[in-house]
Amino acid sequence: MSDDLRQSIIATRISTLWHELALPGTPGKSCPCPFHKDSSPSFSIFTCRRDGRDKWKCHAGCGQGDALDFLLKATGADRSTCIQSIKEKAFTGYSRQPIAPSRINHTKPHLALDPGTRDELNYLSELRGIPLEALDLAHYRNILRFAYEAGERAWVVTDVTGINAQVRPLRPGTWKMGVKAKTLKDSRANHPVGLPELEYCDRIFVTEGGPDLLAAHAVILWASNADIMNYRSTAAVGFLGAGLNPSSQDLEKFEGKKVIIFSHSDKSGLLAASRWIDAFSAYCRSVNNIICSDILSEHKDLNDIVSNPEGKNAILKKLEECHG
């Protein structure tokens, strides 16, 4: 995060935002949450001892963060607009009304996960065209698991937090309703899968969707074997949909990291990458975006490229350009 943005956030009082945005209720150390129906106070505003910034938390599950997170939550505006408002101290003129009160379900998704068998890992490797050693790495990092869903075996992308999980059938084709993937009920879909790995890594691959998240582990191993980067200090993080955006709380985990986004080459993927670049740039040491069709023409996503015999060399060439 840039110093000027950090200082602007520190200088912004959440109570000021609350009044400027005409949110219901009165802000305080213990008060009703403005983001959901709240019969008893579940919302707190407090001062961070580290740098003096205002922080907030809804103990019923609406979220938490600093003044920037509060503005994002209250207005629904895009991140770049909210950053500009924080810097200019201009908090009026938003076209969208504050979020209407609603009940919050803050339970975790429930599904009995298991590590799967060696045969299932081999089958998934063949099904997706992803090297077995890459699936082993994702499995070791707790990103790949298996389960029974709708009476059949499925592969699952999640992480050790257990707050977001998406399942796909362990076979060709889709689920009965024609959908490729199902995000489990009670998942926090906006949570990027793989965040816990950031604690140990300084280079991060950011992907869209479960298949690309697994495929990124092949790229990690290939790049490590080619001495471009070390797999022990390189992680993969996945947004399980193009419409999702990280919170400031999640973005803080990327502070000082070197990020490479592998963006889908369709319209929604390019728009998502543009938003993510804007979000990460305020926190990361560097941000590069590699469009998948620029690696191999007519290839939409990273899984397509990894499964192509020409994919490995094409990806390594592109990574060398980024780090050369």
Residues 191-235: tens digit of each pLDDT: 899 999 998 899 999 999 999 999 999 999 999 999 999 999 999
The percent of residues above 70 in pLDDT, for the chain, comes to 94
Confirm if 123 and 129 have CB atoms less than 8 A apart: no
Domains of the chain with CATH codes: 3-88 (3.90.580.10), 118-323 (no CATH)
Position 37 scores a pLDDT of: 79
pLDDT tens, residue by residue, 43-59: 889 988 778 899 998 87
69-78, 166-175, 278-287: which is most confident: 166-175
**pLDDT-based confidence at 74, cuts 50/70/90?**
confident
Q: Which long-range contacts (CB under 8 A, 24 or more apart) does 34-40 make?
A: 34/74, 34/98, 34/101, 35/62, 35/63, 35/73, 35/74, 35/99, 35/101, 35/102, 35/104, 36/60, 36/62, 36/101, 36/102, 36/103, 36/104, 37/101, 37/102, 37/103, 38/101
pTM summary value? 0.71
Closest alpha carbon to 301 in 266, 273, 264: 264
User: Is the pLDDT reported for residue 302 higher than 80?
Assistant: yes
Position 155 scores a pLDDT of: 98
Contacts of 18 (CB under 8 A, 6+ apart): 27, 34, 70
User: Residue 214 is inside which H or E element, if any?
Assistant: helix 210-225
> What tokens does 320 get?
């060398």
